[in-house]
Structure 1
């Protein structure tokens, strides 16, 4: 049995596919299996993958006859895995050579965690690194309460799919990705896993995460849907803190004063780029969740504080009390 399975959904990913896959094959840890599923690509990705399968016995290629979408394809891959651990992967990104080795070491050290995430370096379309000096003081082990506290304040802390390793039995137990979601099923899954056990943070940067305009998550036409799905998740996260009155009230303050004003800012952005239909969807969602006049008032205060570079102090010294 391989120590770890790498699962890679592919849809029209030929441009970066070679570098994404060969960064797996060049890992210092070689006891793995790679499962790749082509989701009815039209750019020649499947032909490339079939050639690769013939050259490497660690690689298995699956394919969908019609496009099923990211999360249904990921679930198909996960069900085919034979390892106790699964590392999720994306067609745009590059693993550092020691990525799998460090992930395995961490899960061997903490065998009861449901999942882990690690640090990333961001690269552009041409592979150039965008340096970041951001310091993450999150501990190595994050229990349910801490996950809920951090996520209610700052959003999805694990981040992207490519820096995630999951305990196979844990993901089966919580029911895989919610494939009825289009954009936020990853955030939803991290929350389900954190609700049933500890998760881990590996304190190393092990992946180059590529940012480019073609990614769905960066498409302004998906803003309203992303916020709709995130809202459902955030409500569940706040609910995880219901047993502690102080933590619960702090989470609700962050929801009203940080998260919702961010959504209102997205609404103004949609209007500025003349995406009126998308703006109407988001406006209707915000109207159903809060008083719009009150939200505008909160947004105005937060924007002023940000202009004065006092927003972080406001969050930490006023909201977080």
Structure 2
């Protein structure tokens, strides 16, 4: 693990991000709370990403640049950044997004005064490739219920985009989660957020602190294209196998691993099993495809 002299660690995953990378790095360096490290993990980019990162790293000792020799996928790259982080608090920050200069200061103030909270984030604005406002997005993830079962169930009722992971999270809670998983299913960030509710409360600051850029060049832009998602999460066009079932099993594993009591775990397990029933047609289709593929391989 890196040095713990920094209060906050910012992990920036990047792949061919030359278009917006400089702006994202500057948005981090301009934070009013400056006791942080910025760790950039370059997923074997083929554009000018490496040059840009090395120039910034040479000019600011808070910046650490790591270049992967091959593309290890978003799951591996995000996870690697967390394992390299030494701060008491952690946040991911994509190389094409922007944030308010007050994000660290505002979120840290909440987490330092709220030991029952594991995450704090500000409101989100969605911007386009040119930085123009597209939408004031309501994350709806201000989950401050004292009861963990209520908090966990409510999360599934309100979650949309998981912009909150670009706020600030408590390292001590995050280390107990599966992070971004192992690349065996897409949208692992939704699993991560669900896991975090098992360890504490999520607090929203009623101030826009994050600007998420939606543009065609983003690696995960086409969410309905399975091939694109597989490449994004795995680093190669490796097919997901039973992803919906694995996603739900990951929730059950997280529940059992959490520090909650038997009855609470039971209630949450039953809730996930109900969700499996709700998704039975999709899971059934995935099982049929799996059996078909196995049959073709054996002939």
Instruction: State TM-score, norm by structure 2.
Output: 0.74
- Is 2:27 aligned against 1:26? no
Counterparts in 2 of 1:139-288, with a 5 A limit? 139-140=143-144, 143-154=147-158, 156=159, 159-160=162-163, 163-181=166-184, 183-213=186-216, 214-222=218-226, 229=243, 232-234=246-248, 260=279, 284-285=285-286
**CA offsets per residue over residues 32-63 of structure 1, 9 Å max, x none?**
11111111000110111001101111111111
- Is 2:52 aligned against 1:13? no
1:89 corresponds in structure 2 to: 93
Alpha-carbon offset, residue 65 of structure 1: 0.9
CA distance in 2, matches of 1:255, 1:42: 41
**Structure 1: gaps spanning 5 or more residues:** 265-281, 289-321
Counterparts in 2 of 1:113-152, with a 5 A limit? 113-132=117-136, 134=138, 136=140, 138-140=142-144, 143-152=147-156
Q: Which has the larger radius of gyration?
A: 1
- Is 2:109 aligned against 1:102? no
Alpha-carbon offset, residue 117 of structure 1: 3.5
**Structure 2: gaps spanning 5 or more residues:** 231-238, 256-261, 290-299
- C-alpha contact 1:140 1:201 (8 A) present in aligned 2: no
Aligned with 1:125: secondary structure?
Answer: coil
- C-alpha contact 2:248 2:272 (8 A) present in aligned 1: no
**For residues 116 and 230 of structure 1, do their structure 2 counterparts lie closer, same or farther at Cα, with a shift above 3 Å needed?**
farther
- C-alpha contact 2:88 2:170 (8 A) present in aligned 1: yes
Aligned with 1:208: secondary structure?
Answer: strand
Instruction: State TM-score, norm by structure 1.
Output: 0.69
Higher helix share: 1
Aligned with 1:92: secondary structure?
Answer: coil
CA distance in 2, matches of 1:212, 1:15: 11
- C-alpha contact 1:9 1:74 (8 A) present in aligned 2: yes
Aligned with 1:15: secondary structure?
Answer: coil
Taking only aligned residues, the RMSD between alpha carbons, in angstroms, comes to: 3.6
Once the two structures are overlaid, the 10-residue window that deviates more, 177-186 or 73-82, is: 177-186
1:63 corresponds in structure 2 to: 67
